[in-house]
Structure 1
Amino acid sequence: MASFSSSRRWWALGALVLSVLVIGLDATVLNVALPTLATELGASTSDLQWIVVAYLVVFASLLLPAGALGDRFGRKRVLIAGLAAFGVASALATFVDGAGWLIAARAVMGAGAAVIMPVSTSILPSVFPPHERARAIAVWTAGMALGLPLGPIVGGYLLDHFWWGSIFLINVPAVAIALVAAVFLLPESRDSSAARVDVAGGVLSVLGLATLVYGVIQGPVNGWGDAGVLASVGAGLVLLAAFVTVEARSRAPMMDLGLFRKRVFLWGSIGATFVSLAMTGVLFVVPQYLQAVLGFDAFGTGIRVVPMVAGLMAGGLAGERLLRPVGLRGMMTAGLLLLAAGLGMGALTGVSDGYGWAAAWLAVTGAGVGMAMVPAMDGVLATLPEDRAGSGSGTLQTVRQVGGAVGVAGVGSVLSALYVAGLPSGAPEAARDSVSVAVSLGDRVLTEAAHSAFVSGMDGVLALCAALSVLAAVLVAAFLRTTPETAGPGDGAGRGGTAEPGAGAGLGASPAAVVPVAAETTRP
């Protein structure tokens, strides 16, 4: 690593940030485009649902094998392949003339994103020494987070001025730049002792996760008692149980189950997953609140989510600087409690409150996310030897991604139930499906009732997420133990983690990659 100059390291980080920026952008840009796609492509509700779900299911199910492939065949090489797949699929999506082809293109984009996320994360240990890793994670996180509000802003502008395909076309130049930067700036790294690809484990993980995530996503749409949903969730759990059995007996497993015997990895992952679930609640309800209740358009909504991103960046930088004196357990606990405080503030929102209050609690929430997530990822992946960074980060991100999908379903169900319960008994059936539909009917009394019902539902969701964040803080404070005797200057243990040779760090796929687009087809 000494031969990899400091300036080149940060330029290389720029390539990785650009790689994940396009994924963050793509995660939210589709939100504002679905009504246009329904009109321009003649897409039915089912078609729109599959345009969303095809990406999510493929993305979640390929994270594990993607990380393992990077370890075996070279992380730089696999990252370039993922970027190329994402870029080509984006270009194809720009010019399709039917919903079926767009669904196929979105599936390929999900595959490319599933490669980019864990592999870009696992490259960080080969580029940054331990004392610079937390700062690199904060920058990497900010790059992902920056794409989230840019999606509605850029998407709203493009749809106002160009054709619908332009929302996918913007990915192409960004991916091209990231490809060039990756080729010339990133070092190659791999596990030189990697065994053959775990085919059985790969097939079971893909089928199990795809089936489970599909069932979880469909739960709020079809109802949790629906036979198809129950069969999908049940089959997914059975396949994943078979996957665990196969991995436990394999000589070269895709998922190293021994990682979960490390307290830092286990409880750090659990804490990070709780953060993802809480972010799910925020990113599910806030865009709807800003648009349907406060009356902002898609462009204005994207701009008004920026305080959360600013808070995330500030919290991440604070977490980086305080990690050494406070320690991993202290920083994660403080971040989770700050997150709970922001969510608790949001749960006090009234119908008559303006944007100023929302901006305040969004900033506090974002700071809590950054303060908890950056130390968690630095500490968790510092337990990984460098040659297993890809599969280890894939494991972590898979856990978070499934947690995010569960969050979509749970938050969607709670919000829908509270919203419908808050409507007057004589409200039109259409108004029960969506607060936006209720507002569009033009009845002033119904609009006021829908606003009140939605804000009440939003408050309930945010209160639930705040309670879960407090629970996560208690669990982390009680069970996350570090091994200070292994600490060394500037390593993970010296900052409250456990130190091992080749320690890695990174941050997984934002749950927002699941939440905003999935919310579009299930929101009240």
Structure 2
Amino acid sequence: MKSFGPRRWWVLGALVVILLAVSLDLTALNVALPTLSTQLHASTGALQWIVASYTLVSATLLIPAGLLGDRYGRKKVLLGGITIFLVASVLATYVSSPAGLIAARTLMGIGSAIITPLAMSVMLVVFPKEEQPKALAAWAAASFLGLPLGPIIGGYLLDHFWWGSIFFINIPVSAVALLLGLVLIPESRSAAAPRPDYAGLLLSTFGLVALVYGAIQQEEYGWGDARVWGVMAAGAVLVAAFVAWTRRAARPLIDLSLFRDRRFTGGAVPATLLTFALFGVLFVTPQYFQGVLGADALGSGMRLLPLIGGLLVTSRLSPRLVTRYGAALPIAGGGIIIAAGMVMGAFTTADNGYAMAAVWLTIAGLGMGLMLPSSMTAAMGALPADRAGVGSAVLMTVRMVGGAFGAAVLGSLLSSGYRSHVDVAGLSPAAADEAGDKVGGGLAVAGRLHDPGLLRSARSAFVHGMDLTLFTGAGIMVLAALLALILLPRHRTPEDTVDGQSTHEYASA
């Protein structure tokens, strides 16, 4: 493998910075929605699509982006993705209408879909296999840290600047990453890139669009609405057609034998289940901090710092554990630690203060820092070097779809728990509907009516729903730990370190 010397660490730094900006955008916007509603006169539907457009596009274009990188050059396509993200951030900063912001967010999602898998595949090019667990740990930390950091940074910027500042911050970050990438990142491509499988590409893309769209829409319409289950059923049919096509295609988009590799499945499935649970936690906890503990947007984000601190501590330890013991034990151990933190959180009552939340978030963060880098290392170890782009895109697609479903499923569990326990007796029909829909409605009605009984009921009902959500998340993490132990070897193997050296072609940077 070609040696890149100290230059490889500069490449890693540039990739980590842009990945952090991309992952921040998944959650930073949430705290700005009330401001956008007022200043852009955005309706509830428009606000939903300002958020959802980014997730929908980024989740469904990962595989095409990885394929383009393998075929036409990873550096070229990656820099194109950073440029799209930069231009879209400029547009988002200065738009003056909801439609303009939705368009800009869609462009940002396209840039994100290109950047995420290709940043990973570039790392496999510039780092020797013995250092790849460290590089992947940094990649995982950047990808993951942005999720809880988003509300913190978004809340700070909104408190001190105008709403467009949450996008403006992407501009210098993207520009620096683009310049460093032009100078430092080597060009690489698959040595034998086949013609694209256009039929497979269309089937997989439209199938994923339908599945993710349905998961997003359930928040507004509910699982029983045909606009949700009908669209998701159509998506499932398209994905099934994609699998059938892939089995008979001469040059398929994805080699399905990859999923028969226990290393890939043993890493990808726990990583997906972790993303599923994390998106649920990030959906629940900011609402708990604001609705029950009375924090503002910035304070709510700051209260997620224990989760970040725990993750940072163990993400540095994870590569050494994988090198010494293999991936199975760190993944399983991390899953059990996360489950323990969530179980503790599930015993929260409306009378508990922040101290209890800080403790269980710290425990969960410690488990996440162990689990995510280890699972990514295991999965990436199964990818052939000449398919690193599309292979990493498949891995990220599975995780992104898992995250979308995590927010939808666990969010609906939270809502059903709240609605079943809030007491709206004695309210007018309109007030009862508003208070019974979600905790924000209950708090608003209680404030207008100066009703301390309703206030206590709304907070207790929300905590009940949160407890159900955390218990469910804990069960998912136990399942992830068990699957890791079943699918992965419990001792170190040569494949536990990612092999990315054999069939890349290089061009001078």
Identify the TM-score tier after normalising by the shorter chain. over 0.9
Q: Are residues 502 and 415 of structure 1, via their aligned partners in 2, closer, same or farther at CA, if it must alter by over 3 Å?
A: farther
* TM-score normalised by L of structure 1: 0.91
Letter matched to residue 4 of structure 1:
F
Alignment of 1:284-433 (within 5 A): 284-426=283-425, 428-433=432-437
Structure 1 window deviating more from structure 2 (259-268 vs 473-482): it is 473-482
2:480 to 457, 463, 472: 472
Q: Are residues 12 and 501 of structure 1, via their aligned partners in 2, closer, same or farther at CA, if it must alter by over 3 Å?
A: closer
SS of 1:324's equivalent in the other structure is helix
RMSD: 1.9
Letter matched to residue 178 of structure 1:
A
Alignment of 1:110-189 (within 5 A): 110-189=109-188
Letter matched to residue 441 of structure 2:
V
Q: Is the 8 A contact 1:142 1:309 kept in 2?
A: no
Match of 1:449 in 2: 457
Alignment of 1:248-259 (within 5 A): 248-259=247-258
The Cα shift of 1:478 comes to 2.3
The answer on 1:463 being equivalent to 2:471 is: yes
Matched residues, number: 495
Q: Are residues 290 and 107 of structure 1, via their aligned partners in 2, closer, same or farther at CA, if it must alter by over 3 Å?
A: same
Distance in 1 separating the partners of 2:141 and 2:262: 27
Q: Is the 8 A contact 1:273 1:404 kept in 2?
A: yes
Q: Are residues 221 and 168 of structure 1, via their aligned partners in 2, closer, same or farther at CA, if it must alter by over 3 Å?
A: same
Q: Are residues 482 and 474 of structure 1, via their aligned partners in 2, closer, same or farther at CA, if it must alter by over 3 Å?
A: closer
The Cα shift of 1:305 comes to 0.7
Q: Deviations over 1:246-273 (max 9, x none)?
A: 2222222221211011111112211111
Distance in 1 separating the partners of 2:389 and 2:500: 16
The Cα shift of 1:40 comes to 1.1
Q: Is the 8 A contact 1:385 1:501 kept in 2?
A: no
The answer on 1:27 being equivalent to 2:31 is: no
Distance in 2 separating the partners of 1:383 and 1:435: 45
- Runs of 4 or more above 6 Å deviation: none
Letter matched to residue 19 of structure 1:
I
Distance in 2 separating the partners of 1:358 and 1:103: 34
2:439 to 435, 442, 455: 435
The Cα shift of 1:2 comes to 4.4
Structure 1 window deviating more from structure 2 (460-469 vs 275-284): it is 275-284
Structure 1, unaligned runs of 5 or more: 505-524
Match of 2:228 in 1: 229
Q: Are residues 149 and 413 of structure 1, via their aligned partners in 2, closer, same or farther at CA, if it must alter by over 3 Å?
A: closer
Letter matched to residue 466 of structure 1:
A
SS of 2:187's equivalent in the other structure is coil
Q: Is the 8 A contact 1:381 1:503 kept in 2?
A: no
The Cα shift of 1:483 comes to 9.1
Q: Are residues 479 and 375 of structure 1, via their aligned partners in 2, closer, same or farther at CA, if it must alter by over 3 Å?
A: same
Structure 2, unaligned runs of 5 or more: 505-509
Distance in 2 separating the partners of 1:148 and 1:233: 26
SS of 1:189's equivalent in the other structure is strand
Distance in 1 separating the partners of 2:503 and 2:358: 37
The Cα shift of 1:326 comes to 2.4
Q: Is the 8 A contact 2:85 2:108 kept in 1?
A: yes
* TM-score normalised by L of structure 2: 0.93
Q: Is the 8 A contact 2:3 2:126 kept in 1?
A: no
SS of 2:30's equivalent in the other structure is coil
Q: Is the 8 A contact 2:26 2:54 kept in 1?
A: no
Letter matched to residue 350 of structure 1:
T
Q: Is the 8 A contact 1:125 1:502 kept in 2?
A: no
Q: Are residues 118 and 105 of structure 1, via their aligned partners in 2, closer, same or farther at CA, if it must alter by over 3 Å?
A: same
